[in-house]
């Protein structure tokens, strides 16, 4: 089979980078995990901290089996991120990872259909390209990025859509953190259903 059909089937994926680190954000902050960053995203957040991931053609293609075998050498907790990982069919990769005994987390905007077997869904909705309806029911944590004042309104709108069990996080957009972090602290104290999430890996200078 050719490379394009393997990509279409999710038998291979464009991998921007993969690394063993500590989850820096959200509910699993502080937990060691192997990150697989899949290239390709067309959501276009102006403050995205991995714009290099956007063009999938710039990233080498690896087979799902190769990626999975390499990842489990380091950790049984895997974080799939990107780019937008749901642009790809994640069934082959996640089924191999599950056979190898892994717990699989995903970081997603929810703008593309769910695929694969995922144990923990971190949904981070974007105004440019709203999540598809199906993901709100399945979300474990909602992580809203706060860049400006209007983002608090958007966060509340998205919180209305997720299931009642979902944990709710507000995370300062990194370049505007000095301005927005105090506002988030104030907001969380007034609205205790929310928690603050910081990009702790950036403070720790780790990947």
Ligand X SMILES: Nc1nc2[nH]cc(C(=O)O)c2c(=O)[nH]1
Output the known binding site for [4Fe-4S] cluster. 41, 45, 48
Chosen from ligand SAM, ligand SF4, ligand X, none, partner binding at 197 (C-beta under 5 to 8 Å by type): none
User: Considering the rule CB under 6 A, would residue 49 count as an interface residue with ligand SAM?
Assistant: yes
Strands 12-22, 61-63: pairing kind: antiparallel
Question: How far apart are CB 47 and ligand SAM at their closest, in Å?
Answer: 4
User: Considering the rule CB under 6 A, would residue 84 count as an interface residue with ligand SAM?
Assistant: yes
Chosen from ligand X, ligand SF4, ligand SAM, none, partner binding at 173 (C-beta under 5 to 8 Å by type): ligand SAM
Q: What is the DSSP string of the chain?
A: --HHHHHHHTSEEEEEEEEEEE--SGGGTT-EEEEEEE----S--TT-TTGGGS-GGGS-EEEHHHHHHHHHTT-SEEEEEES-GGGS--HHHHHHHHHTT-EEEEEE---S---S--SEEEE--BTTBPPPHHHHHH-SEEEEEESSTHHHHHHHHHHHHS-TT-EEEEEE-GGGHHHHHHHHHHHHHHSTTEEE---HHHHHT--
Question: How far apart are CB 126 and ligand SF4 at their closest, in Å?
Answer: 5
Residues 29-48, interacting with ligand X (CB under 6 A): 35
Count of residues near ligand X by CB under 6 A? 10
Query: What gap in Å lies between CA 189 and CA 66, rounded to an integer?
Result: 46
User: Considering the rule CB under 6 A, would residue 41 count as an interface residue with ligand SF4?
Assistant: yes
**Interface map 89-118 toward ligand X (x if CB under 6 A):** ------------------x-----------
Residues 101-140, interacting with ligand SAM (CB under 6 A): 107-109, 124
User: Considering the rule CB under 6 A, would residue 82 count as an interface residue with ligand SF4?
Assistant: yes
For ligand SF4, the binding residues (CB under 6 A) are: 41, 43-45, 48, 50, 53, 82-84, 109, 126
């Amino acid at each position: 089979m050719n490379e394009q059909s393997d990509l279409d089937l999710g038998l291979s994926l464009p991998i921007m980078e993969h690394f063993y680190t500590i989850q820096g954000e959200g509910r699993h902050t502080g937990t060691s995990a192997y990150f697989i960053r899949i290239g390709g995203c067309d959501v276009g957040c102006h403050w995205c901290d991995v714009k290099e991931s956007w063009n999938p053609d710039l990233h080498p293609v690896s087979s799902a089996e190769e990626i999975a075998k390499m990842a489990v050498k380091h950790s049984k907790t895997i974080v799939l991120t990107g780019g937008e990982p749901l642009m790809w069919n994640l069934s082959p990769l996640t089924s191999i990872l599950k056979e190898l005994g892994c717990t699989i987390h995903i970081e997603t905007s929810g703008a593309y259909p769910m695929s694969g077997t995922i144990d923990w869904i971190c949904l981070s909705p974007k105004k440019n390209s709203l999540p598809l309806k199906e993901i709100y029911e399945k979300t474990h944590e909602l992580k809203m990025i706060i860049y400006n004042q209007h983002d608090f309104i958007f966060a509340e709108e998205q919180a209305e859509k997720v299931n009642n069990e979902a944990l709710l996080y507000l995370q300062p957009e990194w370049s505007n953190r000095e301005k927005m972090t105090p506002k988030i602290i104030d907001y969380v104290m007034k609205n205790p259903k929310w928690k603050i999430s910081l990009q702790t890996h950036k403070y720790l200078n780790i990947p």
